[in-house]
């Protein structure tokens, strides 16, 4: 391991000031990705700026129709939040199926999205909840839709002196997240899917579908959404709609699965997640 400097900061302003001042800053939150990056020598000779002691960056706030979570809110915080379990079930399901209790205790939501892995579980759930990312640097603040936040594998819109400070998303009572891993715990997603559905009677009034681990970034499945919008939600309609995944996803082979396998399971996962969002776990859209 190479030499690292380390900067503690106990407030958001102190962190933003350090990022404005240091040319070699590298932000660390829970460290679950950063430590591996250091061991793999992907990050060398940097000044690590720790986010975890800024109390204002952590917490879950009920705003009425939306919820705001601070960037250093941990996956474990989400898992134990009644608000998240009741009003954003897809995100809660992403949290409870994430890694193991020790990792969930350290890993943060801000770190999960900023790391920009195509397999980031919270990103898939947050994307169907219309999440907006608050990004700050010294003296400036901007908001970016999560759909526009990712630029590629490991790449985001963040500049070197910017951090994610919060994520705000809409509440939903009709959403679900499903993860396919190689085992039940401690598994990075082979593929994951989240659905957020609004029905008027049997008809789809609004639907958002996102998938992870099937493209360079977590992404919305626009073709499938379009095929379902305004339609009566029936098994045959869903079966036809999920054919649109051919255009929505472009999975590759990696150590966890082949692209061909991912293409085969994607329609099954999306179908199951639609049923789950309707509250019909065992199949059948009604
Ligand atoms: C054993 C193990 C199991 C895992 N299982 C899963 C899993 O099931 N699902 C899953 O999605 N991931 C999983 N991961 C990956 C990892 O735990 C997550 O991506 C985690 O959420 C990262 O959060 P962190 O706080 O640890 O980020 P860190 O490691 O501290 O940071 C990650 C990256 O984001 C940057 N960063 C962190 N916070 C911010 C911020 N607020 N603003 C700007 N940049 C920031 C850092 O500079 C770094 O580049 C696993 C990792 C391990 C080691």
Pocket of ligand 1 (CB under 6 A): 26-34, 36, 51, 71, 98-99, 103, 106-108, 110-112, 114-115, 119-121, 158, 163-164, 186, 188
Cα four-point dihedral sign 6, 38, 125, 279: negative
Write out pLDDT tens, residues 131-169.
Answer: 999 999 999 999 999 999 999 999 999 999 999 999 999
Q: What pLDDT, on a 0 to 100 scale, did the predictor assign at position 281? A: 57
Q: How far is CA 236 from CA 224, 273, 280, in A?
A: 13, 16, 16
Question: Closest Cα partner for 228 from 256, 264, 204, 194?
Answer: 204
Counting beta carbons within 10 angstroms of the beta carbon of residue 4, is it exposed (0 to 12), middle (13 to 18) or buried (19 or more)? middle
> Who contacts 32 (Cβ-Cβ below 8 Å, separation ≥6)?
99, 103, 106, 107, 111
Residue whose CB lies within 8 A of the most ligand 1 atoms, among 74, 91, 114, 159, for a mutation test: 114
Q: Which residues of the chain have pLDDT under 50?
A: 282-286
Residue holding tokens 């002691």? 53
C-beta neighbour count of 234 within 10 angstroms: 13
Q: DSSP assignment of 163-213, as one string? A: EEEEEEEE-BSSEEEEEE-SSSSS---SEEEEEEEEEETTEEEEEEEEEES
Residues 131, 39: Cα–Cα separation, whole Å: 32
Q: What pLDDT, on a 0 to 100 scale, did the predictor assign at position 184? A: 76
Between the CA of 81 and the centroid of ligand 1 the distance, in Å, is: 20
Q: What pLDDT, on a 0 to 100 scale, did the predictor assign at position 119? A: 94
Q: Kindly report whether the global pTM for this prediction surpasses the value 0.85.
A: yes
3 state DSSP class of 143: strand
Q: Are 39 and 83 in contact (CB under 8 A)?
A: no
Counting beta carbons within 10 angstroms of the beta carbon of residue 201, is it exposed (0 to 12), middle (13 to 18) or buried (19 or more)? exposed
Q: What pLDDT, on a 0 to 100 scale, did the predictor assign at position 41? A: 86
Cα four-point dihedral sign 185, 187, 190, 194: positive
C-beta neighbour count of 65 within 10 angstroms: 8
Residue whose CB lies within 8 A of the most ligand 1 atoms, among 47, 49, 111, 149, for a mutation test: 111
Between the CA of 156 and the centroid of ligand 1 the distance, in Å, is: 14
Write out pLDDT tens, residues 93-131.
Answer: 999 999 999 999 999 999 999 999 999 999 999 999 999
Helix (H) or strand (E) holding 109: helix 109-114
Between the CA of 116 and the centroid of ligand 1 the distance, in Å, is: 9
Q: What pLDDT, on a 0 to 100 scale, did the predictor assign at position 2? A: 63
* Residue with CA closest to ligand 1 atom 15: 33
Between the CA of 40 and the centroid of ligand 1 the distance, in Å, is: 15
């Amino acid at each position: 391991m190479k030499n690292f400097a380390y900067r503690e900061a106990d407030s958001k302003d102190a962190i933003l000031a350090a990022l404005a001042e240091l040319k070699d800053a590298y932000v660390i939150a829970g460290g679950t990705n950063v430590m591996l990056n250091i061991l793999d020598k992907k990050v060398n000779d940097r000044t690590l700026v720790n986010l975890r002691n800024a109390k204002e960056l952590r917490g879950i706030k009920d705003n009425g129709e939306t919820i705001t979570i601070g960037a250093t809110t941990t996956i474990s915080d989400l898992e134990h939040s009644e608000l998240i379990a009741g009003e954003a079930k897809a995100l809660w399901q992403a949290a409870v199926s994430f890694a193991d209790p020790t990792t969930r205790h350290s890993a943060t939501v801000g770190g999960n999205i900023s790391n920009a892995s195509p397999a980031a579980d919270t990103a898939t759930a947050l994307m169907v909840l219309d999440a907006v990312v608050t990004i700050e640097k010294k003296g400036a603040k901007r908001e970016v839709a999560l759909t526009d936040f990712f630029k590629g594998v490991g790449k985001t819109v963040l500049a070197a002196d910017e951090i994610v400070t919060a994520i705000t998303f809409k509440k939903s009572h009709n959403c679900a997240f499903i993860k396919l891993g190689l085992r039940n715990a401690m598994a990075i997603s082979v593929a994951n899917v989240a659905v957020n559905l609004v029905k008027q009677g049997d008809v789809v009034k609004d639907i958002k579908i996102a998938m992870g681990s099937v493209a360079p970034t977590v992404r919305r499945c626009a073709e499938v959404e379009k095929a379902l919008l305004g339609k009566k939600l029936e098994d045959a309609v869903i079966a036809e709609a999920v054919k649109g995944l051919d255009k929505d996803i472009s999975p590759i082979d990696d150590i966890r699965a082949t692209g061909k396998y991912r293409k085969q399971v994607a329609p099954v996962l999306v179908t199951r997640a639609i049923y789950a969002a309707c509250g019909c776990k065992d199949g059948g859209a009604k």
